[in-house]
Amino acid sequence: MALSALRFADGERARLLDMLARTECVARATYLGLVVALGCLVPWIGASPVIAGVLTIVDWSVAQMLVKRARRPEVVFVGAWLVCQLLLAGGILWSSSSSAAMLTLLAVAIPGAAGSFPLRFVVTGTGITVALMVATASAAGLDGGFAAVSMPILVAIATAALGSALTLSDVEHREASVLDPLTGLLNRAALSRRAAELTEQSVVSGMPVAVIVGDIDQFKTFNDRFGHSVGDAVLVALADAMRGSLRAFDLLYRVGGEEFVVMMPGADTEQASIVAESLRATVAQAPLAGHAVTMSFGVAASPPGAEFAYEPVFAAADAALYVAKGAGRNCVEVSIQGDRAPSRPTMAVAG
């Protein structure tokens, strides 16, 4: 899987982070239980599978720490998943009593992939697992040829198929609650969850988090003139244009009719203002759905080394947006340090 192909959509990345947070304890407990079970079989299978199991726990633990600072969390976890499979395959290969039944260990990591990654990666990962099973069986000289590995392969495929079916069903229900049906962007509910995650991560990393608040200039007048159907078309085109101007790990949210929020983990106000200016220029330069529109932006960020708190940072960015509107629109304003009082009603995140 080429790194260039690992670009996740906003919803895919948010689901990955959410699933990893929800299953972290269960995943560790599962692998720990696996190590204990293998430890009881050391007299028959040797120590290598146990060592491999311990290393997989270390692998996932390191990945959990790295993802808190990673710009591309999906790359970290795809890499950790591949390392996990290679470790288990090595443990089986060097076992003192390799058997076809032990190849089933390689299917343990498939439910995690099916629950966290898009279907295209689950299919690829299952193919890699099957290839590892065949290669390990061949290298270990297991008797029976393909027949010996047919059952582990069937278990891997069945696990991937069932896990993917359940995940797709879950995704459909989740998307209905966290995605804006018009633009496909994340909505307020998703923003609330992400804000809580970034607050927790900032305690560990100490890195700043920037918030960009954007608003289409005079959009009510635009809708009154051209109609809401044209306005909707502009919103869809604008969402697509803004996505292309963001970093892979920044998330874009639609929180109101013409209001948008960008969350930028690891960015300060200077970095965020550059991104906001890029967004402003992108919108202003290209006709959207055949119409020229502009946007104004407000930028704020939490201080480096301090815990990120969404509400005051958003309030500061929102106040800066109000200044941008008063300055003639189609511009970017950065919050003054210490500005915490919004000049207009703030947009609630919850709900």
Assess if residue 285 is contained within a domain. yes
Assess if residue 340 is contained within a domain. no
Alpha carbon distance 258, 185 (integer Å):
12
Alpha carbon distance 84, 23 (integer Å):
16
Same domain, 158 and 212: no
Assess if residue 350 is contained within a domain. no
Same domain, 79 and 131: yes
Assess if residue 230 is contained within a domain. yes
Prediction pTM value = 0.55
Going by C-beta distance under 8 Å and a sequence separation of 6 or more, which residues neighbour residue 211?
A: 261, 262, 263, 264, 272, 299, 300, 301, 310, 313, 314, 317
Same domain, 250 and 143: no
Same domain, 162 and 287: no
User: What is the number of other CB atoms lying within 10 angstroms of the CB of residue 112?
Assistant: 22
Same domain, 46 and 131: yes
Alpha carbon distance 183, 235 (integer Å):
7
Same domain, 67 and 18: yes
Same domain, 168 and 236: no
Q: Which two tokens stand for residue 72?
A: 């591309």
Same domain, 32 and 156: yes
Q: What is the CATH number for 214?
A: 3.30.70.270
User: What is the number of other CB atoms lying within 10 angstroms of the CB of residue 181?
Assistant: 9
11's enclosing H/E stretch is: helix 10-40
Assess if residue 244 is contained within a domain. yes
Same domain, 299 and 193: yes
Same domain, 321 and 270: yes
Assess if residue 183 is contained within a domain. no
pLDDT in tens for each of the 351 residues of the chain?
444 445 676 667 766 776 776 677 777 787 788 778 878 888 878 888 888 888 888 888 888 778 766 777 788 888 888 998 999 888 888 886 666 778 888 888 887 777 777 778 888 889 999 999 988 888 877 766 667 788 888 888 988 888 777 666 665 555 556 788 899 898 988 898 889 888 888 887 888 999 999 999 999 999 999 999 999 999 999 999 998 888 777 889 999 889 999 999 889 999 999 999 999 999 998 788 889 999 999 999 998 888 899 999 999 999 999 999 999 999 999 997 543 333 333 333 333
Q: How far is CA 17 from CA 29, 31, 82, in A?
A: 19, 20, 18
How many domains are there within the chain? 2
Assess if residue 344 is contained within a domain. no
Residue 139 belongs to domain spanning: 3-178
Instruction: List the alpha helices (DSSP H) in 141-268.
Output: 146-178, 188-205, 219-226, 228-243
